[in-house]
Every structure is written in structure tokens, then in C-alpha cells.
Amino acid sequence: MQQKWIGCASSNFRKGRHGYEPRVIVIHIVVGSLESAGMTFNDPCSAVSAHYGVGKTGEIHQFVEESDTTLHAGTVVRPTWRLLGPRVNPNYYTIGIEHEGLPQARWPEAQYRASSTLVQEIANRWHIPLDRDHVIMHREIRASKTCPGSVDMDRLIAAANSATVIAVVGAPPV
Ligand SMILES: [Zn+2]
């Protein structure tokens, strides 16, 4: 799928992943526009970043390469995510996807469609299982935040799974 490369201030992400690979996708809400996320990540003083942003109309912006570490889920507060490993910063093994909008607002259909396709593509690249243990909400790591708000995670993951099925069915016979 097409994404627009936006980039990120070098002070807001880290080259490489300390030997880790992405094995979890973390869903966020911008609490603002897709453009505001790009501006924040390109502000050298913000000290935050994510790999992708998904707009309400389905546009996808990429800020950082998947093989690099973004600063989106490094603060652990009363985590409820059961696969959280001890002593390792979650940023090293997660991919962060921001979503345009406000926490209480419903995502438009186009945003679900684009996000689920992006999730499916990332999962295929890194062999990440498409389930609720591996596609998680930010607040499952940081309970002091409501992020990502009202997103229907079961719907998002089901759509990502059906995107996988279509890809397999559509593959040429071997
Ligand atoms: Zn978040």
C-alpha cells in the first residue's frame, strides 16, 4: 500500500533496535490531525515519535523506518499487556502506529481499512501474529493514558486477518 514518507527529527528516534526485532504493534491516537503528528515528530525538542500515522480518509504517513526505534511506548505504568517482558524498553520491539483524531471519536471506515491493511503488511514482514497479544493499545502498556481511545481492536484485527486471507488466496499457484 502507498505511504507518504514524512521523516522525523533525528533526536526523536534511535537508529537500529539494540538487537531486537519488531514483534508487537502498538495502536495510538494522535489527539489531533495527521499533520500535527508529523510536526510534533519533526520538532527536535518533542522527544516522541512513531513509525506511521493513519489519517481519517485512509492516507498513511511514514515517519521512521521499521528497523529503527521510535519513542512511543517507553513509559510503563501498571501494564495489563500480559506479554510485556521485564527490563527491556518496549520501544525496542514494537512498531507504533498513530491515528488521526480524538480518543472519543469513532474511526471512519476508511481509517479502519487503511490501518488494518498496514497492520497486516507489517505483521507479514516481521512474522507477527495477528491477535490481541501482538496488536495492542498503548494504554495496555501505560495505564495512565487513555490512548488510543474508542478504537474497536477486535474489528481492526479481524480486518487485518481477512486482508491476509485475501493475499494468500490471490497468490499464484506453486
Ligand atoms: Zn499513545
pLDDT at 126: 97
pLDDT band per the 50, 70, 90 thresholds, residue 44:
very high
Query: Can you list the positions of beta strands (E) in the chain?
Result: 4-5, 13-14, 24-27, 52-54, 60-62, 69-70, 94-99, 135-137
Calculate how far, in angstroms, residue 98's C-alpha sits from the geometric centre of ligand 1: 7
CATH superfamily name and code, 4-169:
Peptidoglycan recognition protein-like (3.40.80.10)
Calculate how far, in angstroms, residue 72's C-alpha sits from the geometric centre of ligand 1: 7
> Where are the domains positioned within the chain?
4-169
Q: What is the mean pLDDT of the chain?
A: 94
pLDDT at 174: 55
Distance CA 155, CA 14 (A): 32
pLDDT band per the 50, 70, 90 thresholds, residue 163:
confident
pLDDT band per the 50, 70, 90 thresholds, residue 85:
confident
Calculate how far, in angstroms, residue 119's C-alpha sits from the geometric centre of ligand 1: 16
pLDDT at 96: 98
Contact (Cβ atoms closer than 8 angstroms) between residue 135 and residue 27:
yes
3-state secondary structure of 135: strand
pLDDT at 87: 87
Calculate how far, in angstroms, residue 100's C-alpha sits from the geometric centre of ligand 1: 12
Calculate how far, in angstroms, residue 145's C-alpha sits from the geometric centre of ligand 1: 7
Residues in the chain: 174
